[in-house]
Amino acid sequence: MDEMTREECWDFLREAEFGRLAFHLADEVHITPVNYAVDGETLLFRTAEGSKLLGIVMNQDCAFEIDEFGDQEARSVVLRGRARLLEEDEEHRAENVPLRPWVAGPEKYNVVEITPLDMSGRSFHLHRPWRHIRLDEQ
């Protein structure tokens, strides 16, 4: 396992566009997939009215995670931060980054910004010995 630098974490976040957002809603913790884009050193995502937006408005504390893995390597970035609904005069920021809807459905007019307070990333060289075992046919 190798620790990723902050710059490596940001590079990985810029390469990807799909992650998982964890947020509070009342006394529960929820996690949901979101597509996002990096804007400077913040993340932006769009959302419709619903539990995700309500949770962010009620409690800005959140966590966000992305990962990827292949046959030989895996990477993961986790951040803890603060999410806030952007005001109308700030929503244009979403037009300047590659933030596009992945699914059809209700229009997602609300733009949320996540500002990281803490970020960590790790890369792993995978061994997975069970993938190299050959069972002789009898």
pLDDT band at residue 98, thresholds of 50, 70 and 90? confident
Q: Where are the domains of the chain?
A: 2-132
pLDDT tens column, 5-34? 999 999 999 999 999 999 999 999 999 999
**Following DSSP, what letter does each residue of 11-66 receive, concatenated?**
HHHHH--EEEEEEEETTEEEEEEEE-EEETTEEEEEE-SSHHHHHHHH--EEEEEE
Q: What is the pLDDT of residue 91?
A: 74
CATH architecture of the domain with range 2-132: Roll (2.30)
Q: Is residue 65 a contact partner of residue 81, using CB atoms and an 8 Å limit?
A: no
pLDDT tens column, 29-87? 999 999 999 999 999 998 988 999 999 999 999 999 999 988 889 999 999 999 999 98
Amino acid making up residue 124: F
Tell me the sheet residues that pair with 75: 68, 123
Q: What is the pLDDT of residue 97?
A: 81
Q: What is the pLDDT of residue 107?
A: 74
pLDDT tens column, 41-50? 999 998 988 9
Higher per-residue pLDDT: 136 or 55: 55
Q: What is the pLDDT of residue 129?
A: 65
User: Do strands 42-47 and 18-25 pair parallel, antiparallel, or not at all (unpaired)?
Assistant: unpaired
Q: What is the pLDDT of residue 115?
A: 97
